[in-house]
A = this chain, B = another copy of it.
């Protein structure tokens, strides 16, 4: 069976689920979208269509948007999953709800079918206990928007079969991803652990009055931003010649924040019910229309950086063979 002939189920059609469905449709799969929440069942078709049209406009599609749309089923009937080879769960990050969802998935698919969670908060080994034949369960973690980012984090739980994880890893390349495969189920996964170390340090600098939010963001945009997409952090060290880092490790490590506390600035955000650009209340102030403008800028930028990243991954593959 050709890989594109595998049908894939997506359970949960919120923001993330819709965007994952689009990513899988573009890769050529038939997608069975299960919408356990009636509101999502109503909104998802339009959202997915909009995203496909956006991809079409951005030149990311081989065929017209309608071709992909015709391969999508949206339903609340878990029975529709019966011809799927892979099912991806992306419902809310609540343990008990996921447990219920898994029961419904398991009872509607064969014992060989891969079941995956898009969670970035709950350990895979912990979710695995809810799955019969747990060796076919793993984490597949997309970045938003799933159809226009190359990131994909595949995480094994305690009982995941390495062979099945490898199979998903290979499949993900056909989705246009640059997947990573995490063999241990560490809390926070790779990207969260790395990013949260930055958040800890950045928030600590803001709280101590050492630097402003704006300056920290500028530093990252124009320093790290000028190389990270090409090479990541360890290749950067090789590029810069390695030896200067040693001296700086010695002086900077002891100065870094080791705090486990929730930063006060985040507590304040919680108190004022700030949801960032969703309600124009956040770490930054937002004037009328500004939140919307950021959304639009992100949508444009995302396409540009996606194409740029691709150019360099191919170039490197050729040059660096």
Contacts and interface: CB of A to CB of B under 8 A. Distances in A.
A275 B190 CA distance: 26
A220 interface: yes
A30 to B, nearest CB: 26
A315 B296 CA distance: 11
- Nearest first, the 5 closest Cβ-Cβ pairs linking A and B are A217-B232, A238-B276, A225-B229, A238-B282, A151-B222
Interface in A173-208: 177-182, 184, 186-188, 190-202, 205
A166 B143 CA distance: 39
Contacts of A277: 238-239, 241
Given A182-B210, A200-B256, A283-B234, A187 B225 contact: no
28 contacts: A143-B226, A144-B240, A182-B215, A190-B219, A192-B248, A194-B198, A194-B219, A196-B252, A197-B198, A199-B237, A213-B234, A216-B232, A217-B232, A218-B232, A221-B230, A225-B228, A226-B229, A229-B305, A231-B298, A234-B283, A239-B276, A240-B276, A241-B277, A242-B275, A242-B282, A246-B270, A297-B315, A297-B316
Given A150-B222, A221-B178, A237-B276, A121 B197 contact: no
A97 interface: no
Given A151-B222, A223-B151, A320-B294, A205 B217 contact: no
Contacts of A309: 221-222, 225-226
Interface stretch (A32-40, A60-68, A108-116, A257-265): A257-265
Nearest to A201: B197
A235 interface: yes
Given A196-B253, A312-B301, A205 B190 contact: yes
A149 B230 CA distance: 14
B248 A196 contact: yes
Query: Interface residues of A toward B: which range?
Result: 35 or more
A59 interface: no
Given A227-B302, A235-B217, A196 B243 contact: no
A266 interface: yes
Contacts of A177: 222
